[in-house]
Structure 1
């Protein structure tokens, strides 16, 4: 056995100890080399890319080295306590505050979401079909943004409306003038409307009629109005007709057979073409005495007293003198025209004899 082998045999324990120490030193050297070796890490902070070199072993040490703070609401792609390796990519998104108003309440939330829709989803806010979101769901998030959710509710309502009937008049030639007769009773109509009421956050903002049904038809009230002109009843006067009463006019007291109300007065003159000086009764026209009358109302030759005019005698007649109308004779055509037409006179029909003052 050579000297070396004999020595190793005699000092086996020492050899083993030296081997263990050698291995430990090698391991420590490898660890030291690994710790002190530079690593290239890709950092993406709020969407901004940058490459950094570090000799640190954990992510937290790298963040401290780069003065990057990570809050409770921020997003980080790996645990700060995890070891980093060369070529790793670390993503960090810092949360921003946004103000969300919904259901009458406003709260501030911190989010790393990229759109309004993501914020709504992350906060478990339910959006119905008709609800409105401001700004629109696809709007990008920025700090201190206001997000408002308007609750929209549609409700159908039925309304019953009464439609009034119209009154329709129709002329009836078989009915006396001034008389009325009910032909058809009026009936109110009933209409059922369907109204869509739209509420935003509980407040009514619009009402629209979406349907209409006629429940009862409207019937007009029809009234017949008489147009038939009745032939006036004419009382035929004679000297034997009884007196109605006695009155005094211009200091003359007389009895009369009849009183005519609302008599219309006109005047005529012998100077007019076609008017002669002889009356229909055969007398000569005389101003202050002669009048033309409707002999069905005032008998020919009878005296009358005209309020505002005086005593006159029915001595003439004319085609235009009908009913309660009297034509007073005046010599002057100019004065006759000036007389014009006078209405509303009262006339006392006396008889064939002129009253005389007592």
Structure 2
């Protein structure tokens, strides 16, 4: 009796285990059926086109592309491996290969790529970027299919240079009553100084782009030029203290009334209509009106005490040039050509 009871209990336990296993298999089968038959979705982004893809069961990314009749070019790229199993809610991005132009180092690189981020495009091309180089558009920017420009790499180099530069001297002018008006005397010559200038120079593609001064240091101070300008307007003549308008140095020559000096015609009549007179008549440029008096210290011991009057003109008499009238041709030749100090009287 006891033996039969034990056998019955063993048979009951075995049957219960089989039932549990059967129920588990049934549940798994039901879950599998639900999984296989439930509807799932994924998004395919192909450039400007977006496709909402619904599917049941297990599908790979390649299957999704085939189902939507999407073909890939040799260099096109998909965001995930096409062998991956598609998950519910997944987004698939397709980057179509296109021609991109990159300008760098004076060259244009044209190549086909599916990359979209500027940094990745440059890396794929194998171009090395230094720390200061500039890229336009920026490295982080993604270019769309409508991008029609070019990627520009500007090589940037900085250097610090120090150069010696002159410091220009200044000029100081001061009045001196002891000097005649119009006389300028340099009492101290000017000398340039010297400074060192340190600058940061920036080059873009080998061409200088900017300079920034970092430091300036004067190594030698400049010496200013000092000039004294005469303000005295009085000169001692036979008339006493005589006021003058200006003082100048002229080139003086002599002439007479002969045809060699004045040409054909009456050489004794001046351009002003006055008769020529030694120790009195001079020819000067038109900047001095007829009747202007000149005091010439060189002739101060003559009968005219050095005072002459502008009464004549001459074809060669221009600027600081005068012609002094003499009675004879011999006297004019003897006088020759001289540089004389002349006071133009008020």
TM bracket, shorter-chain basis: 0.3 to 0.5
- If you compute each CA radius of gyration, which structure gives the higher value, 1 or 2? 1
Taking structure 1 as the reference length, the TM-score comes to: 0.44
User: TM-score, normalized by length of structure 2?
Assistant: 0.45
